[in-house]
Homo-oligomer: A and B are copies of this chain.
């Protein structure tokens, strides 16, 4: 094993994670290896977009290690609660999906315990867990070729005369996709 995550050592990437995310979350460290494996499977000159199948941890690995961020829209979260990332060419849709290979976790008891939440988080030994994650590297991951149906990801056009899709009233377009009255019902504050 090389123990490297893109241009970082495991420890240096951990420091970046601590600064950005607040702690060295195991999920982001594995996510780092997921991004690394994805790059090994993507053409070097590809301009790619990405999808995280979970909102937990993995989006931060992508944001730290690739040009994709939530705010520039090259990273999207489609939250189906799976520990998986997809990267694909934004023009052809061709790419790779990386996921944890659960069948290999029996060789890695700390990772297995963490992933399947077999004991409370407080009782998990985070040093042993991180040591296993480093040692396991990309060997617990699987890469699968994918072809993204780009037509399903077309960006919403902004309507010039907006009609609220909830109440059907016309409103100021500066007020968003939904009129202010209906927004106030969706947001958790008045």
* Chain A residues with a Cβ under 8 A of chain B: 20-23, 25, 27-28, 51, 53-61, 63, 67, 69-74, 77-83, 86, 88, 93, 97, 102, 115-117, 146-150, 152-153, 158, 172-178, 183, 186-190
Contacts and interface: CB of A to CB of B under 8 A. Distances in A.
Given A60-B71, A174-B115, A186 B80 contact: yes
B80 A70 contact: no
A103 to B, nearest CB: 11
A157 to B, nearest CB: 11
Q: Could you say how many copies of this chain the assembly holds?
A: 2
A44 B91 CA distance: 46
B53 A73 contact: no
A70 B60 contact: yes
Contact of A82 (B71, B80, B183): B183
Nearest to A28: B71
B188 A69 contact: no
